[in-house]
Amino acid sequence: MSPPLPQIQILNPDNLGKPLGPYSQVTRVKASEFLFIAGQVGADKDGKAPLDFEAQCSLVFANIGLALASQGASFANLVEFTTYLVHSQDIAKFMAYRTREFPKLFAGGAYPPNTLLVIDRLVQEQFLIEVSAVAALWRLLARHSGSPRKRRLRTP
């Protein structure tokens, strides 16, 4: 029998302001197996990046989808994004891209938390965007501290 799915809650607590884009404030995740996906850039399998920012965005998220799929996961498993842009002029384009495309990737508007940063440069001059991600795969079921009498568990 396969282990249970992780419990992932994508949250925008009432006591915080509204997110300033298509992302959420908090993920709460109960999981025992994780994926750490290195910053994915807007390049194809041969390492070639299109000149256009939006075309690079498409490749970045396609690559993240492929990385997830390779482990039997999907965008629903994501718990966190970090996005790096090299030109502040691309912030508006990135907002527009996500507003249009994220509803296709994430059901019900549950967009993972994202930290958006404008930095000097990525590993190669041609790259305009890079996104790293953390995903949750599986959850252990284990009993929590039961009645002392019956307790048979120990911690390291």
Comparing CB distances to a copy of itself, the nearer of 104 and 152 is: 152
Contact criterion met (CB below 8 Å) for 87 and 128 = yes
Comparing CB distances to a copy of itself, the nearer of 44 and 52 is: 44
Residues 62-91 close enough to bind a copy of itself by CB under 8 A: 63, 66-67, 69-71, 79-80, 82, 84, 88, 91
| Contact partners, residue 131, CB within 8 Å, separation at least 6 | 39, 40, 60, 61, 64, 81, 82, 83, 84
Comparing CB distances to a copy of itself, the nearer of 70 and 108 is: 70
> Is residue 122 near a copy of itself by the rule CB under 8 A?
yes
Position of tokens 């495309």?
Answer: 101
Nearest distance, CB of residue 75 and a copy of itself, angstroms: 15
Helix axis angle for 53-69 and 91-105, nearest 10°, is: 40
Contact criterion met (CB below 8 Å) for 57 and 42 = yes
Contact criterion met (CB below 8 Å) for 112 and 79 = yes
> Is residue 99 near a copy of itself by the rule CB under 8 A?
no
Counting residues that bind a copy of itself (by CB under 8 A) gives 82
> Is residue 51 near a copy of itself by the rule CB under 8 A?
no
Residues 7-36 close enough to bind a copy of itself by CB under 8 A: 7, 11, 13-21, 23-36
Phi, psi of 150 (to 5 degrees): -95, 0
> Is residue 93 near a copy of itself by the rule CB under 8 A?
no
> Is residue 149 near a copy of itself by the rule CB under 8 A?
no
